[in-house]
Amino acid sequence: MSIATLRTSYLAASLASVSRSMLKQQVPIKSQYAATNSPPPPEGFMPGVANSKFIRNTHHEALRNPELAGVANGETKKMNTFQAINDAMSIALATDDTACVFGEDVAFGGVFRCTMGLAEMFGRDRVFNTPLSEQGIAGFGIGMAAMGSTAIAEIQFADYIFPAFDQLVNEAAKYRYRSGGEFDVGGLCIRTPCGAVGHGGHYHSQSPEAYFAHTPGLKVVIPRSPIQAKGLLLASVRDRNPVIFMEPKILYRAAVEMVPVGDYELPLGKAEILTQGKDLTVVGWGAQLYVLENAIQLAQKKMPGLSVELIDLRSILPWDVETVCNSVNKTGRLLIAHEAPKTQGFAAEIATTVMERCFLRLEAPIQRLCSYDTPFPLIFEKFHVPDMIRCAEGIERAMKF
């Protein structure tokens, strides 16, 4: 073999295609992902979302929401969740000269494409890559915000937010309080993708909201859909407190809505009642809501006439105690579901508060449907998370108590 052919044979197309066909011929496909004969998308599949009743597929449906009154006469555009987040950041940058977007790999668009096109549109001094350091990113954002600027920082995965824990918990959260109100970092918003995707294993799946919910001074927000993501993100960026905005990554492509193109905010600290009901209150947030939607349908097949009030909490901190307790006072039963492990998950906080405030109205033990208390296990994911069946069982337990 000549040197020339030797060189090109290395990892070259010819060899790749040889291994491609050899693989298929010599080792016929039989595996979990093989059904599609193509790799799973990085953010996973959540096929049910498209058929959800909570997805606003049309212009009209989207704008029926009273919270969107400000843009009720405007246009809407079909967007998935990452596009809606991108749109929100684009508006934040356009309406606030001090705003910057930064983080690992954001300049080329981010590993989940959320910042695509922003560097080209607003310049590399406003949308830029940082060195690979989460504590650096968080601290840098705090510094910008301390100068009155707006910092929209991305932590590439919520699983990698822990190097920034000190900056967020000890610094951002206490900046105003410790200075007697002299200083604050209200302009800081940390965006980070969270949650299960089907193949993320330990470190591309976690939902660490409860760690931050234990920190006075922070706000924590988790949207369920493109319309919600855009309005909640704009509110989070503009809120005068540091906000951690956790994006369920499985919804980046799976959830598509007609999103108002205008500038709008959705309220922080306010839950949204997705369906009204009288027998049972179900509380969830993010992607778990779609699991709950299916679980409720399943339970209703077994228990015809079952009337469930489903609440999207939206803000984990501060959370909407009033909406949840009003609902439980009406229904007398509560189920909370989240993807994070059960012990010390945020459901524990909700359950305790409801127990304190609605004790005499409760007709069944509060149900917590959460992941099991193990690290997030790759190959056991479907057994680990509180799926439709487990949530439906929980509904039945609450109703039959």
Partner 1 sequence: MFARIPARAVARAIPSRTLAATSVKAFATSAVSKDISATSKKDRIKVNFPGALDSHFSQKLEIRERMEPIDTFRVMDTDGKVLDPSLEPDVTEEFAIKIYKDMLTLNNVDLILYEAQRQGRISFYMTNAGEEAYIGSAAALDPEDEIFGQYREAGTLLYRGFTLDQFMNQCYSNDLDLGKGRQMPVHFGCKALHFQTISSPLATQLPQASGAAYAIKRSGRKNCVMCYFGEGAASEGDFHAALNIAATTSCPVIFFCRNNGFAISTPANEQYKGDGIASRGVGYGMHTIRVDGNDVWAVYKATQEARKIAVEQHKPVLIEAMTYRVGHHSTSDDSSAYRSKKEVEDWKRHDNPIVRMRKWLENKGWWDETKESSHKSFARSQVLKSFAAAEKRKKPPVSEMFNDVYDKLTPNLIEQKKELEELIKKYPDHYDTSNYAPEK
Ligand X SMILES: Cc1ncc(C[n+]2csc(CCOP(=O)(O)OP(=O)(O)O)c2C)c(N)n1
Active site residues: 134, 204
Q: Give the whole-angstrom CA distance, residue 282 versus residue 394.
A: 10
- Select from ligand X, partner 1, none the partner in contact with residue 8, using the beta carbon and a kind-dependent cut-off of 5 to 8 Å: partner 1
Q: Give the whole-angstrom CA distance, residue 208 versus residue 194.
A: 8
Indicate the residue among 162 and 372 with the shorter CB distance to ligand X.
Answer: 162
Query: Is residue 43 a contact residue for ligand X (CB under 6 A)?
Result: no
- Select from ligand X, partner 1, none the partner in contact with residue 150, using the beta carbon and a kind-dependent cut-off of 5 to 8 Å: none
**160-119-259-191 Cα dihedral, nearest 10 degrees:** 20
155-182 burial by CB neighbour count: b if 16+ within 10 A, else e? bbbbbbbeebbebbbebbbbbbeeeeee
Query: Is residue 165 a contact residue for ligand X (CB under 6 A)?
Result: no
- Amino acid in the structure at residue 266: L
Q: CB of residue 38 vs partner 1: minimum separation in angstroms?
A: 5
Q: CB of residue 96 vs partner 1: minimum separation in angstroms?
A: 25
Q: Give the whole-angstrom CA distance, residue 254 versus residue 44.
A: 9
Indicate the residue among 55 and 250 with the shorter CB distance to partner 1.
Answer: 250
- Select from partner 1, ligand X, none the partner in contact with residue 73, using the beta carbon and a kind-dependent cut-off of 5 to 8 Å: none
Query: Is residue 372 a contact residue for ligand X (CB under 6 A)?
Result: no
Indicate the residue among 29 and 121 with the shorter CB distance to partner 1.
Answer: 29
Indicate the residue among 177 and 380 with the shorter CB distance to partner 1.
Answer: 380
- Amino acid in the structure at residue 327: S
Please state the φ and ψ torsions of residue 175, each to the nearest 5 degrees: -60, -45
**Residue 200: CA atoms inside 13 Å, Cβ hemisphere, count?**
27
Query: Is residue 156 a contact residue for ligand X (CB under 6 A)?
Result: yes
Closest by CA position to 260, among listed 105, 40, 76, 70: 76
Query: Is residue 205 a contact residue for ligand X (CB under 6 A)?
Result: no
Q: Which parts of 217-339 fold into alpha helices (H)?
A: 226-238, 251-254, 288-302, 321-331
Query: Is residue 160 a contact residue for ligand X (CB under 6 A)?
Result: yes
Q: Is residue 363 a contact partner of residue 351, using CB atoms and an 8 Å limit?
A: no
Query: Is residue 104 a contact residue for ligand X (CB under 6 A)?
Result: yes
- Select from ligand X, partner 1, none the partner in contact with residue 50, using the beta carbon and a kind-dependent cut-off of 5 to 8 Å: none
Q: Express the helix, strand and coil content of the chain in percent, nearest 5 each.
A: 45, 15, 40
Q: Give the whole-angstrom CA distance, residue 161 versus residue 103.
A: 12
Which chain residues interact with partner 1 by CB under 8 A? 1, 3, 6-8, 10-12, 15-16, 19-20, 22-24, 26-27, 29-40, 42, 104-105, 107-109, 111, 129, 131-136, 159-160, 162-163, 199-204, 342-343, 372-375, 377-380, 382-384, 389-390, 393
Query: Is residue 86 a contact residue for ligand X (CB under 6 A)?
Result: no
- Select from ligand X, partner 1, none the partner in contact with residue 202, using the beta carbon and a kind-dependent cut-off of 5 to 8 Å: partner 1
Q: CB of residue 182 vs partner 1: minimum separation in angstroms?
A: 27
Q: Is 261 exposed, middle or buried (0-12, 13-18, 19+ CB in 10 A)?
A: middle
Interacting residues toward ligand X by CB under 6 A: 104, 132, 134, 156, 160, 163
